[in-house]
Every structure is written in structure tokens, then in C-alpha cells.
Structure 1
Amino acid sequence: MNSTTDSATPTAPVVVPSLQRWEAQPGTTGLGEGFVVEHPEDLAGLARTLRADIADVTGLAGGIGADTGAGKITLVLDPELEFGTDNATAPDEGYVLAIDGGVRISARTATGVYWGTRSLLQMLSASTELPAGIATDWPNYPVRGFMLDVGRRFARPEALRDYIRFLSWYKLNTFMVHLNDNEITKDTKRSWDQAQQGFRLASDSPWLAGLAAEDGAYSRAEWDSFEDLAAQRHVQLIPEIDVPAHSRSFIRWRPELGLNGGDSDMLDLEKPETVELVKNVFEEFVPWFRGPAVHFGADEYARGHSKTYRGFFNAVSTHLRSLGKDPVAWGSLTMMSEGAGAPGPGGYNRDVTMCAWSRDWYSGQAAVADGYNVINTDDRLLYIVPFADYYHGQGLDARDLFENWEPHIFGTGYNLYPGHPQLLGAASALWNDLVLLDYDERAVYELVKPAFGVLAQKMWAGAVPELGYEDFMDRNAAVAVWPGSTLLG
């Protein structure tokens, strides 16, 4: 007798995020030494990754050739596969995992197959004797992310590569890398000349000499290694070059372009050469970036400059479009201009994805009303500032997120409805504001890790009836060891 259940019931396998649908069947299927992975040529690389990850998680080595009785995993691309849902993300990222004498993972896309292998690996981390059944699974939202501030505090390349692996283990598909920033001098009481700053990309182009931070910056080869791994792990990198505020690294390099005669971390937008310099910097680095989107910051600029800020916002977003990228920005239009204005030359470009980070600067509701697609990055709910006495200095409140949050929730009076067509998803963020403290990448990871499974659950599958916080965290602990770690895991 078969039984179809929602995810996370007692009969469903322990997977985080939990399965959208599980149809239990009698019996089990074992996987042993010498198992084989059958696949089409299009999935050869994915099959290699799966074999390596199984060896890492279970210690079992896969064989080559015909099934010898140790078990067979079949990977299938099926462009006609149905998921039994009208969720728009299912065709691109959904999969069906069938366990009945063998293991079969089917999807319309390689990404869907890859997510199916993550569920299989989490099952295998509990036991190589797998429960028989059929999982049908898909994400509720297309953007499920995390942002890391490396501008204020450099993270070694090994750490970024580990974050890519960590995200993909939980089926989080978006890694925003905040590549430049600086000390908050109003808090440290130091001058701008003394302020810590960092631009974390190092180009060989002579005209950019002096821009890259001396205490750490990524070469083109290192960035390529991030892109290679992200493609293998089906994670999209969204690099951020933050302008026109948070730009002390630019002003240190080109003092004449700084607001207030360079005594600032903001670029002077009254000078046409400022916009041209920013465009040239993006022209230099956009070829490094393989994903469809590039973030240009655009937050927390000095108020009282609405016209020049709007001109800058439109010029940079249009330029990124001309370079073949989808522009992303931190929502700031309420504070800067009391909204986006009417579409057209007198208003703001609408073809920008807004990270809705502040209810005061530009709420998710306000951005949606102005016509923007949004990503929930609400600061009060989703920001970590390590060891600070504001936001979440000791890590996000995992219980509160589990019991009260989903991507459509921005705070009382600011929420959207679940599945709103302009709500792309959500991303938590870690900001290294306290530049004078001594801590490293491992300390950062330890703050991020406790709530990661909860965030993945809420972004992928949402709340599960009758699953409490303690039970969920027990499930999360059972699958918390992820494959491939070199520094963090």
C-alpha cells in the first residue's frame, strides 16, 4: 500500500529543505561499494560530482560499467516531466526522485537533477539503505540566497568556494558577494584618511593600478575558480561593486572624485567624470562575471542629491544592461527621491531588481508598487553583523525565523502576499561592519550556520504543518555535514 504525504511527516526521509511531496512505498533500496551512475552525456560532469560527493558523505566508491548488484543511480533529463504543481519554478528547478530497487532522478534541467542529488546525498548521510518511495520536489521561489561582505573584511578564496558548496547543499542558489566597502567612521570616530577600505578584485590592467586592496583581493584566476565551482554546484554568483556610497576605495584611488573634497566615502555625482569612471570599472570587470546579474549597490547616499543620484542610478543600470547584465540594487528610492517617480525620463529605470533591505529607505511594498521585482533582504530580520549590539550580532534568530518568517514577510505592515509575482525570493546577509575587531572566516561561518537550514526550508518549501522547531533542528543536525569542505565545514 502506497501513501502520499506532505514533506517532513514521520514517513518522509530527512531532507533539508524538506520534500514538497513524498509517496512512500514498501521496502528499501541499498547502495554499496561499486555502485554505478548511469547518465546521458549532457550530465557527465554532474555524475562525476555525485560520485565524488557520495564518497565524501558515505565512504563508498562508485564503479564504472554495468551494475554489479551494488546499486544503480540513473540520472535523466526529461523535458516533458510533470510535477503536479502550477508553481513557476518547478520546470527550471524541480525534480522527481524515485527509489524502487534502484535510484532514478529525473528533471527537465540539469539544475533540477542536481537538486535531486542533494536530496539523495542527505538521505545517504543517514543510511545507505534508502526507503522506497517517490519524491516530487520544487522550490517555492526562484531566488534563495546569502550575501557576504568581503569588502570590509577579506575572505580567503577557500572560504568563498566553501560557501558555494554550503549554499548548494541546502539548495540555496544565489551567492551575492559584496566586493567593496569601508569603515563606518561615525562609529569608530576615525578620520576618512585612516579608515579601513577594500576593493577586492585585482585587475592586471595598468589604468586600475592602486584600486585593489593591499590586504587581499581576488585575481582573475581566483574569480574564475569561483565561477567554475558555482556552475558545477548550480549556484549563481551576483557580484556587487557598491557605488556611489560605500566607495572609500575609489576615493583613496581617485581623491578628486570624492564628495566634500574627498573627505567622505561617497562619490561626487556632480562631476561627469565620476559616472564615466564607474562605467569604465564595470566594463573592466563585467567580463569576469558569468551570471546574468550584477549588483551596483546604490544605497545610503547622502540625501539632498535626488536629481544627480537619479541620473547616476539610471546611467549605471542602463550601462549594465548594455553590457548584457541584469542590474540589481539596494532599494533606496523613498529616502532619496520619495519614490521612483513616473516611468520615463523623469523617473527611475524600472528594469532593476531591488533588494528590499530597509522599510525606511525603500520597503518591499513601495518597490512593488513602483513596478520593481524585489528580493527580501530585510535588515531587521535577515542581517548579521558579527559581534555587534545591533541587528543580529550573534547570528540570526533561527527560532523566530522558523516560527514566524517566510520570504513574503518583511515586518508588520510591510508584508507582501505569499507567492507575489514580483517577489523573487529572499537572501540573508552578513556585514562585517566592525572592522577593528579581530575575527576570521571560521567565526563568521559559525554565526551563519545555525539558521542556514531554517532559511533554506522557508525559501524552498515554506512552513510544514505539525513540524516544530526542535524537531526541525534535529533533522537539520542529521544532515549538517556537507561534502567538499576545505576550510569551513
Structure 2
Amino acid sequence: MLAAIAVTTAATAVPLGLTAAHAAWPTAERPGQAADGTNSRPAVIPALQEWTGGRGTHRISAASRVVTGGTGAKDLLPLARRITEEIAEITGVRLAAPRTITGAPRGGEILLRRDPGARHERGQERYEEEGYSLEVTEGTVTVTAPAYSGVYYGTRSLLQILLQDDERSRLPVGTAEDWPNYRLRGFMLDVGRRYFTPGFIRDYLGFMGWFKLNDLQLHLNDNEIHAPEGDWSRAYDAFRLRSEKPEWDGLAAEDGSYSRADWDSFEDTAARHAVQLTPEIDAPAHARSFVRFRPDLGLNGGNSDHLDLENPETTAFVKKVFDEFTPWFRSPEVHYGADEYTGAEELYRGFFNTMAEHLRSLGKHPRAWGSLTHMAGGAGGYDRDVTIHSWNNGWYGPQAAKADGYEIVNTNDSLLYIVPFADYYHGHGLDGRYLYGSWEPHVFPGNQSLQPGDPQLRGAMSAVWNDLVHATYTQQDVHGLVQKTFGILAQKMWSGAAAQMPYADFTTALRRAADGPGMTTIRPTLPEPDDLAFQVKATASSKTAGTSAAHATDGDPLTRWTSDRENGPWLAVDLGEPHEIARVSLDWSGDHGRAYDIEVSDDGRTWRTVVSRDDRDRPGRDELTFPATTVRHVRLKGREGKKIRYGLWSLQVLAAPDLARDKKITASSSETSGLVPENANDGDPTTRWASQYTDDQWLAVDLGGTHRVRRVVLDWEAAAGRDYDIQISADGTVWTTVVERRGRQEAGVDTVDFTEPRDAAHVRMKGLARQTDYGYSLWTFEVHA
């Protein structure tokens, strides 16, 4: 078979039937350079506030060592040991054991250093509490910060720079000064309506630290929104903390709860990752667990999820709950809910004030959901020493809370709530494109936005509410909804628009950053666009301890497959069914191949070579292209002619490229400001474009040049087209119809193949008649060469 392949030149991949002159292999990615020749700002999520580029790079090697110095140098040794392990996880390089030093670092050393006196003119208080300096020279790396959190965040930036580097070993010479714009950068998880395992909670604390988010609020009790047939005894409820004292037997949920040991493990993990773990125990509404435990304290004779605040024992009971569990909490703050109560306002006011004072008596600052506009029409008579989460403008918007003097957290429901798989509140994840382009923590809907950096605005927090208590989704499914925009939210909370890169480039960096090191429970959910091998079955000729063939396709940039030392190592993937493919992307570890083939097969037994590589001389990414072919099985096969070890961070099998992806796209109209044309070609199958409610609507993409087009793929939402044309144009003005669709009665995917390829610079769906009374709505619009 090899005899039929064109002869390859050094470091060149050649598809079958092409000569070496037709196939170009780009050199390995190098740190970017500014116009003056200095290193441009490295990609970090969230983006660095300031960067002064130098020249050259610092290379991590087995001779490198993490050392600690400055104030409390010994206290930083656990972090030094952890980053040593994390560098090994990211790069595959095992560094020397950490140690403390006095004075300046020596060549090859990475110094972690606390300097309580460090200051920054722009960063000011935020720099003192969480900021850091990252200084890279060709010989050494130094992270300096006034506080532990800043040192920790500096190590996250260092690790991300390594992970974004093509060879996972180089840091650009230069100095970063970095700090957050806002004090609170948070995420709330409703564990009351759905149990999440302790491993998931601990992983999320690390996930938050990876992106420099600093407040995880756990909503610890809640219940089904509506009682089945009006009977609250049949409604699901849960309280997730489990006391060992007999007097509390029966309060904790039977389907999952957290012991004191679990909570201590959360607190320990939070401290390591510079995250505040904020508990929320919700009352007097959302309190069915308490009413189940003490029916005499519920409204309507206990047939309610509201507490009866007219009963003097009720507030005493809630105080007792906080007395029992507050000693578990190391956070200086506790959230006590206090929203959506339908009882008497004067009783609610008494509860609001009494509980705020009680939490302060326990040494905690109180936080609560904003409800004062709806409940009372204002804050007259209400305790002002409470941090208010402004979650809904009607219940208590930011302008009203600001006028009343409250400290505010933006947790706006229409922008920041996810209710997994519901048909409301972003059931399939937040709108990443909108958040990236238009949102920051001061932004609220309905003309309620505050000024950037308003001193009463503490920050922002997205939230997951598990309203659908009987749905069958998993905690990993929830992670899939959150992961898409977690880094985007972190970017906007930390340094705002400082990323200074197009949305598509940012999401590429976000996929590369993944979840961060040390994860044990959560798994990546963001495949490369068009990657058909994401989490499919993989097999290999052999593997070494701690690695697996599956690691090459799991989407995690921190796991890898490594073979034994052998002749012709191979790794194969089964795509599950035939797919048209045109590219394979390899991300080599230090054990990279030198000469290898990409083979394909219909049955997994008989293989044919589609492209070869000769004399590769470095690790990193290698994308090989070849004429499109439809196959089910793909294999990497070594042919060095001697025993060699192969190591891959990933193997991706990529469909023929979508020419429309992230190109300029326009439409005749958009139903709302959130259903824009860009949603149809952003590579996200959960975002969509929708038109106004008339027949004569269109969606057109500018391909950025003339291409030989042979197929258009449309994924229709329920508001689908019945009659429409697929048109092409050279200039975007004069259109030619190439395919007519008539009488279509279903939604879903419509693959439109041309009778013959056509040259086009613009492609359009021209609607003629709709299937429904709504407009036209497309999840995706793809164009293929």
C-alpha cells in the first residue's frame, strides 16, 4: 500500500494523489510578537490587565524547580508542591522537588513570593487583596503578590500560558500586572433541588479557581415549585446538611446530604483555590423541608412550602437551624434567602431584620435575595446592613437597591440564570455571544444598568436552578451547560473587555483551557467544532500505566495516551457510523512520532492510507488534511522502522470544514435582540437565529472569498421553513437559485446537496413560506466545499 503513496519530503504531509509541492505544513506555533518585536500578551482566561512584553522565551524542563520566598515562604510550600504536580499534568515534565529560598531565584527556578507591601496604582485595593505580578525572564519566573489569593491566581496564569503554548513548555519573556475589576465573582449552584456529589463540589471549587472566580454559593435547601394536585406532602424537597445530633434526625434529605466531614473538605478545597464558600439556607419561602420536619410551623396547616411567620416558634426554629450549622461555615458571610414570600409584609419585615441581626450575632455578614419592591414597595424599615442579590427587576432591581443604600450583587435572572433543560431561563446554557460582546457586571436589562465600577456594586454571580426536580439529567449534564460560558463570565467579571480578541478566538482558547488540572469528577464537554472523534471509542496497540487510548478522545487536554516502546505503535478510533472527513489533528506530547500515516477503514480491518508525515521534529499540534472521504474508522500508524514510544494529548477527526463558521452573516430580520444571525454559524448547536413572523425572510453568509460549494446544511428549529430556496452569489447582490425546497413538513436537519459544485462567495436561504405562524428559525447554517 505504501508504494502507492507519493514520496514525502522532510516534515511534510502528503495526501494520496498529491505531490509534496501541493501540501504545506505550518511550523509550530510560537509566542506572538508585537510590531516592535516584543512578545505580545499571552492568552489567559480571564485576560491579563497589563502586559509589558520582552524578547525571548523561558522554557520549562526537568531541571526547573518551584521555590518559595518572601513573607511566609514555608506557608507557600503546599502551593509550590501542587503547582509542581500541575505542571507535570499539563506538560508531562516532572520538576525537581520544591524548596524555600532566600534572595533571588536561580536559573530555571519559578519563585512564588508574598510581599504584603506590594502595590499597584491602577489596581489599588483590588490588587492588594487579589492582584499579582508575573515576571518572566529567560532564566527565571517570579510570581509576587500581597496576599495568598494573588500568588495562587498568578500560578493559574502561568499554567494557562503553558497550556496554550503549542509545545506546552514555553513562557514569553515579559511582565504581567493583574487584578480583578470586581470584588465578588461568583457562581451559585442549587443543590437543594438536586444532589451533587462531594467530588463534584470539590472539582467546581478548583474549576472556579482556574478562572479566578472567588465565591461559590451553595443553595442548600429547596423544593418542587408546585405541589402535585395541591398536596405539598407529595412535593419533592431536600435539606442537604446532615447533623449527627439526634434532635435533627429526619431533616436531612434521604437521597443525598453533606456531613460535617464533607463540608470541611469543601472548606479546605475552597481555601486552596482562593474561593469563598458561601452557604445559603433559604427561608421563609422555599422551606418545605422545614415544614416537613415541623408541620406546625407551616402556613395553611402545614400544606405549604412557606413558613408561618405569625407563629412565634417559627423564627426561633430558623434561628436554631443557623445556630446548629453556622459553626460549620468558615465564610464570613451566610445567605439566608428571604425571597418570594407571599405572607404578610409586616411579618416578612420582622423576619428579614431579625435573621440579619442574628447572623451578625453569630459573626457572619448576611446576604439575601432582593424582594423589597414586590414585598414592601421600598426599603423603609428594613435592615440596610445586608448584601442584596438583585435577581429580578420587578422584585427588587439594582436602581432601587442602590437608592436604598444596599450593597448589590448582579444575579439577574434574565441574563444569568440557567434552569437545565427547561423552556425558560436559558435551559440550554447562557448566551455566550451576548455575554462576551455586551455584558459586564454593571449591566442589567430594562434600563436598570449601573455605572461600571459603581462602589455599591460588589460584583456578579451566575446561577443554576434545578427547578425540574423529576427530570433525569446528571450532574455532568449540568456541567455541560455551565462550562460553555464559565470562562466568558470570568473574563467579564475580572478584566471586562480586556480580552481584545474575536469571540471565535476566545472560545477556541476556552476549549484549550478546559476545566483546569486536578479534576476527579467533572469531564470536559466542549469539543473542537467538527471533531467527530470527541469521546468516541478508541483502541491502541499498547498503553503505559496511567494512560489510556480513551484519553486521546476524551476532550481533556490534560490526559494523554502513551504507548509502550514498540514497532509501529497505533491508535484507532471508531466514529460509530460513516462520516465524511477531511482532516485529522494530532496534539503530540514529548513522545512524538517522527514518521506516521493516517489510515481509514470501512470495517476496522482493512486499512488504506490517506496522508503521511515524514521527519516530524517536535511535539505539539499537527493537522493533516486530505481529500474528503467517507469512513467509519480512522487510525494513526507509526512507521519509523524501529521501536518508539508514541504519546498524544489528543487525536481529533474533523469533518470537511464548514465554510460559513464564524463568517459575516446577515438576515432580513431578527425576532429579538438575542436571536441574531450570528447564532446560526457560531458552531454552538444550542443557539439559534429567528426571524420576524412573515414569509419573505432570508439568512445570508459572506464566505470571505470564492469557494467551490457543493452542500448546504440547515438545522431547523420547530419554526421551520416549508418552501425556501438555496441561493448563491458572487457579490451579495445578484442571487442565483441552485436548489428549491418545496412542501417540507418537518423540523430538524435538511442536507441540501447541489447537483454539481458551484462557485460562490455568498450563500443564502431565501424563505418563501413558513411551516408555522412563527418566523424562520435555524440552529445552524453550514456551507461545505
TM bucket normalised to smaller = over 0.9
Deviation at 1:192, TM superposition (A): 0.8
Tell me which residue corresponds to 1:58: 91
Q: 1:300, 1:332 within 8 Å by CA — same for their partners in 2?
A: yes
Q: Which has the larger radius of gyration?
A: 2
Deviation at 1:87, TM superposition (A): 4.2
| Aligned equivalents of 2:470, 2:232: Cα separation in 1 | 14
Tell me which residue corresponds to 1:270: 310
Q: 1:4, 1:21 within 8 Å by CA — same for their partners in 2?
A: no
Q: 1:383, 1:392 within 8 Å by CA — same for their partners in 2?
A: yes
Task: Note if 1:157 corresponds to 2:198.
Answer: yes
Tell me the TM-score normalised to structure 1 length: 0.94
| Aligned equivalents of 1:149, 1:203: Cα separation in 2 | 20
Tell me which residue corresponds to 1:213: 253
Deviation track 1:258-308 (CA, whole Å, cap 9, x = no partner) reads: 0111111000000110000000100000000001110000010005x1110
Tell me which residue corresponds to 1:47: 80
Deviation at 1:479, TM superposition (A): 1.5
Tell me which residue corresponds to 2:145: 107
| Aligned equivalents of 1:84, 1:324: Cα separation in 2 | 33
Tell me which residue corresponds to 2:441: 407
| Aligned equivalents of 1:440, 1:190: Cα separation in 2 | 28
Q: 1:35, 1:69 within 8 Å by CA — same for their partners in 2?
A: no
Q: 2:84, 2:94 within 8 Å by CA — same for their partners in 1?
A: yes
- Choose which of 310, 321, 328 in structure 2 pairs with 1:288: 328
Deviation at 1:412, TM superposition (A): 3.3
| Aligned equivalents of 1:182, 1:55: Cα separation in 2 | 44
Tell me the TM-score normalised to structure 2 length: 0.59
Q: Secondary structure at the match of 2:96?
A: coil
The one-letter code of the counterpart of 1:477 is: R
| Aligned equivalents of 1:142, 1:107: Cα separation in 2 | 16
- Which structure carries more helix by proportion? 1
| Aligned equivalents of 2:498, 2:268: Cα separation in 1 | 35
Tell me which residue corresponds to 1:71: 108
Deviation at 1:47, TM superposition (A): 1.3
Q: Which has the higher contact order (CA 8 A, sep 6+)?
A: 1
- Choose which of 135, 140, 152 in structure 2 pairs with 1:98: 135
Tell me which residue corresponds to 2:299: 259
| Aligned equivalents of 2:312, 2:239: Cα separation in 1 | 22
Tell me which residue corresponds to 1:81: 118
| Aligned equivalents of 2:39, 2:97: Cα separation in 1 | 36
Deviation at 1:10, TM superposition (A): 8.5
Deviation track 1:450-489 (CA, whole Å, cap 9, x = no partner) reads: 0011100000000137522112112212212411111103
Deviation at 1:65, TM superposition (A): 6.5
| Aligned equivalents of 1:85, 1:122: Cα separation in 2 | 24
| Aligned equivalents of 1:99, 1:136: Cα separation in 2 | 12
Q: Secondary structure at the match of 1:374?
A: strand
| Aligned equivalents of 1:174, 1:4: Cα separation in 2 | 36
Tell me which residue corresponds to 1:172: 213
The one-letter code of the counterpart of 1:328 is: R
| Aligned equivalents of 2:452, 2:141: Cα separation in 1 | 34
- Which structure carries more strand by proportion? 2
Deviation at 1:140, TM superposition (A): 0.2
Deviation at 1:443, TM superposition (A): 0.3
Deviation at 1:71, TM superposition (A): 2.2
Q: Secondary structure at the match of 2:233?
A: coil
Deviation at 1:82, TM superposition (A): 2.5
Give the superposed CA RMSD: 1.9
| Aligned equivalents of 1:87, 1:259: Cα separation in 2 | 50
Q: 2:192, 2:219 within 8 Å by CA — same for their partners in 1?
A: yes
| Aligned equivalents of 2:39, 2:488: Cα separation in 1 | 19
The number of residue pairs the alignment matches comes to 477
| Aligned equivalents of 1:467, 1:129: Cα separation in 2 | 22
The one-letter code of the counterpart of 2:434 is: D
Task: Note if 1:245 corresponds to 2:285.
Answer: yes
Runs of 5+ unmatched residues, structure 2: 1-31, 524-785
Task: Note if 1:118 corresponds to 2:159.
Answer: no
Report 1:276-425 matches (<5 A). 276-303=316-343, 305-341=344-380, 347-425=381-459
The one-letter code of the counterpart of 1:297 is: G
Task: Note if 1:201 corresponds to 2:241.
Answer: yes
Deviation at 1:35, TM superposition (A): 2.1
Task: Note if 1:145 corresponds to 2:182.
Answer: no
Q: Secondary structure at the match of 2:129?
A: helix
Q: Secondary structure at the match of 1:314?
A: helix
Change in CA separation of 1:198 and 1:389 when aligned onto 2, cut-off 3 Å: same
Return structure 1 stretches of 4+ with deviation > 4 angstroms.
65-70
| Aligned equivalents of 1:327, 1:171: Cα separation in 2 | 24
Runs of 5+ unmatched residues, structure 1: 342-346
Higher deviation after alignment, 313-322 or 73-82: 73-82
**Identical positions, percent:** 53
| Aligned equivalents of 2:346, 2:472: Cα separation in 1 | 41
Q: Secondary structure at the match of 2:232?
A: coil
